[in-house]
Amino acid sequence: MDQLFVGIKTALLSMLGTFMPDWLVTVHSVLISATGIAIFGPLTMMYLTLIERKVVARMQNRLGPNRVGKFGLLQPVADGIKMLTKEDIVPYKADKLLHLLAPITIVVPALMVFAVLPFGRGMIAADLNVGILYFLAVSSTTTISIFIAGWGSHNKFALLGAMRAVAQMVSYEVPMVLSLVPALMIAGSLSTGAIVAAQAERWFAFTPWGFVAFIIFYLCGVAEVNRSPFDLAEAESEIVAGFHTEYSGMKFALFYMAEFMNTFTISALAATIFLGGWHGPFLPSWFWFLLKTYILIFVMIWFRGTLPRLRIDQLMGLAWKFLLPMALVNVVVAGFWYMSSGVIRTFGSIACLVVAFMVLTALNRPYVPEKREYTFAEN
Amino acid sequence: MTELTFIAQLGIYAMMFVVLAAAVAAVTLRNLFHCALALAGVLIGVAGMYLAMHAEFLAMVQILIYVGAVMTLIIFAIMLTQRLGAGDVAQNNKQSLFGAVAAAGFVVTLGGILWKTPWPVKEEAVTSSFSASDLGESLMTTYVLPFEIIAIVLFAVLIGAIVVARKDAPKGAEQ
Amino acid sequence: MIIPLEHILMFSTLLFAIGVYGTLVRRNLIGILISIELILNAVNVNLVAFSRTTALSPDTGQIFTFFVIALAAAAAAVGLAIVLALYRTSRTIFTD
């Protein structure tokens, strides 16, 4: 049961090997993995839209979509048909090439990251030995596509929204990379398979530095995906939906799809690097991986239903003034953890991290102006 | 496996051709934003060339830094200095012909020399592997001085860029 | 290496020449910066190609390339800061 998908792929390849030369079998092995990802990615995204609408609805004390199909399960199909048949409006003076290029360049990196996710024991599509760096590099190209979307819309508000979104994404990339550094230091490798293998006895999230790194990575991930509470740049009630104001129909569907695939990818990576990947008793490995990923996605949807949006200066202040110093202290504490042993390392690291947290919250108190004195006129 | 090698070679030559075409576009197009996008294409293509030369870590770092950060910087500067929908003006100055002749002369001279030199290709260099941990080790042992100096250089650049691009005059200038 | 060394060197020479042409010919300051980035990338490709085929140790060329990437990013940052300051005073970024 655990090796169900690996077994299917091996059977398919041996069936093909009977009448194909060897090199074509290699090409087909790559194609089978790629097809699997190409089916799984958009299918996940479709049902994630449904899960998000139903969960947010239940949190708001109402039912979600439940008319199309039993429990609303055919709603994503209806949504897809709607988006495909909508008219594709391009603004008059907009640059047509740029307007078309933006949704494409935002979906391709979102789908490319699926190649390094360890879905189960022996189920990575491409076990690169620079896997994590591949994820960071590919997800940093999203900033250019947001710029292209903003500039190609020929709309001042879209441009402003795009600049805010890029400023947010660039500032949250730095704590994200720094929060991954302790996990890479302790695992000793950049490959996702090796990081999962290094968590066989103890998940990284159960160590002091790993817990802090997990929280920082998760928050930065939520900000990178532009979800609530960090979705100032693209929410419908802010700046007229930001950089995707002028998009309709299939192009908007591509933006939406990229956002949900990024959600899945960030949760999957947080589960891989900090929550032990596919490790777990009894049940098959891919089931544990998907369970952990979907729990983290549920927490993201919970954030959306509960927390209010952050203002742009609060958002940037959080990244630069709090998360970045915390991530730096975390790297040092992880090094200390690796070098020492016994009871001193637990208490020492927890003490360092708690002290750093208190110092940072004390230094970042918001500015409260002093109360004004009102003198009322005498009548 | 020679068919796979052939497909790989075909792919790499195609990538080289696309990179050169994008570079020509980056220096001749009139719309500055299109030039910047052509530069992004060149940078991604060069990362592909690094992958073809088995330097994976360098390829990923190239995409992360150049495409992720330097392109963002260039596009921010374009957005802050161009008005939306500004007309396309001529981008080349009056020295186009001389520039083209100089560049062509350079290619002919250097290319001729490069083609004819017998390069000492060592087999063990071609098949050796260089992983990220080897890189870390070299940076910390053999090349630790340039590493520290570049940290200071980047720090100076950070402060310098902020000071140069700042909006308000320093307070002392008013007295 | 599946591509002969001469082909990669010709490729980097052509890229360098295109970058030099752009630096000499563009009127726009940001266009000149873009061409300088092309030059630096051509140099990097050259370094990695040599380090992979003729170098004594494989780390020399690649470490050099890392430093060139870092310095190119630094140069772009300072150059663009200067462009912004220039735009603020003279409202134009053309050099002639």
Structure tokens at A71: 């429990």
CA B85 to chain C, closest CA, distance in angstroms equals 16
Residue B156 falls within a domain, yes or no? yes
In the prediction, which pLDDT does B175 show? 42
In the prediction, which pLDDT does B148 show? 93
Contact A151 B84 (CB under 8 A): yes
Residue B12 falls within a domain, yes or no? yes
Looking at the complex, does the CB of residue B112 fall below 8 Å from at least one CB of chain C? Answer: no
Structure tokens at A304: 């959306």
- Helix (H/G/I), strand (E/B), else coil: C23: helix
Contact in structure between B39 and C37 (CB atoms under 8 Å): yes
Same domain, B71 and B133: no
**Which among A258, A261, A121, A294 is positioned nearest to A192, based on CA atoms?**
A121
With 90 as the cut, is the pLDDT of residue B61 above it? yes
- The secondary structure of A231-295, three-state, reads CCCCCCCCHHHHHHCCCCCHHHHHHHHHHHHHHHHHHHHHHHHHCCCCCCCCCCHHHHHHHHHHH
Looking at the complex, does the CB of residue B149 fall below 8 Å from at least one CB of chain C? Answer: no
CA A85 to chain B, closest CA, distance in angstroms equals 30
Placement of tokens 């996008």 in the chain? B37
State which amino acid sits at residue B167: K
Backbone φ, ψ for residue B82 (5° rounding): -115, 140
Looking at the complex, does the CB of residue B75 fall below 8 Å from at least one CB of chain C? Answer: no
With 70 as the cut, is the pLDDT of residue B171 above it? no
Cα dihedral sign, C72-A191-B12-B44: negative
In the prediction, which pLDDT does C39 show? 95
Taking CA B108 as the corner, what is the angle to CA B104 and CA B110, rounded to the nearest 5 degrees?
A: 115
The count of CB pairs under 8 A between chains B and C is: 231
State which amino acid sits at residue A64: G
CB count within 10 Å of CB C8 equals 24
For B11, residues 6+ apart whose C-beta sits below 8 A from its C-beta are: none
pLDDT tens for chain C, 96 residues: list them: 788 888 999 999 999 999 999 998 888 889 999 999 999 999 999 999 988 888 777 778 888 999 999 999 999 999 999 988 888 888 776 766
- Helix (H/G/I), strand (E/B), else coil: C26: strand
pLDDT tens for chain A, 379 residues: list them: 778 888 888 888 888 888 888 888 888 888 998 998 889 888 888 899 999 999 999 999 998 888 888 888 888 888 888 888 888 888 888 888 888 899 999 999 999 999 999 988 888 888 888 899 999 999 899 999 998 888 888 888 888 888 888 888 999 999 999 999 999 988 888 899 999 999 888 888 888 889 999 999 999 999 988 887 877 766 655 656 677 777 888 888 888 889 899 999 999 999 999 998 888 888 888 899 999 999 999 999 999 889 888 888 888 888 999 999 999 999 999 988 888 877 778 888 888 888 888 888 888 887 777 888 888 888 6
Mean pLDDT of chain B: 85
CB count within 10 Å of CB A40 equals 14
State which amino acid sits at residue A144: I
Residue B124 falls within a domain, yes or no? no
With 60 as the cut, is the pLDDT of residue B170 above it? no
Q: Which of A339-348, B78-87, B164-173 has the highest mean pLDDT?
A: A339-348
Looking at the complex, does the CB of residue C20 fall below 8 Å from at least one CB of chain B? Answer: yes
CB count within 10 Å of CB C58 equals 24
Residues of C in contact with B106 (CB under 8 A): 13, 16-17, 20
Residue B151 falls within a domain, yes or no? yes
Contact in structure between C84 and B165 (CB atoms under 8 Å): yes
In the prediction, which pLDDT does B88 show? 62
Contact in structure between A344 and A208 (CB atoms under 8 Å): no
Greater confidence (B104 vs A311) lies with B104
Contact in structure between A217 and A182 (CB atoms under 8 Å): no
Count of domains for chain B:
2
CB count within 10 Å of CB A336 equals 15
Same domain, B3 and B77: yes
Nearest to C58 among B32, B66, B130 (CB): B130
Contact B150 C67 (CB under 8 A): yes
Q: What residues does each domain of chain C span?
A: 5-90
CA A28 to chain B, closest CA, distance in angstroms equals 12
For the question of whether the overall pTM of this predicted structure is more than 0.80, the answer is yes
**ipTM of the complex in this document:** 0.91
Q: Which of A273-277, A306-310, B43-47, B75-79 has the highest mean pLDDT?
A: B43-47
First to last CA, chain C: 46
In the prediction, which pLDDT does A363 show? 85
B15 vs B44: CA distance, rounded Å: 10
CA C95 to chain B, closest CA, distance in angstroms equals 9
Residues of C in contact with B60 (CB under 8 A): none
B112 vs B114: CA distance, rounded Å: 6
Q: What residues does each domain of chain A span?
A: 4-363
Contact in structure between A317 and A364 (CB atoms under 8 Å): yes
Structure tokens at A246: 């002028």
Looking at the complex, does the CB of residue B66 fall below 8 Å from at least one CB of chain C? Answer: yes
Helices A156-187 + A142-152 axis angle, to 10: 180
- Which subunits sit against B, judged by 3+ Cβ pairs under 8 A? A, C
B45 vs B14: CA distance, rounded Å: 10
Placement of tokens 């092309």 in the chain? C38
Same domain, B9 and B75: yes
Residues of C in contact with B69 (CB under 8 A): 73
Contact in structure between A128 and A134 (CB atoms under 8 Å): yes
Range C5-90 has CATH code 1.10.287.3510? yes
Residue B90 falls within a domain, yes or no? no
Residues of A in contact with B69 (CB under 8 A): 140, 170
Domain with B147, as residue range(s), is 129-167
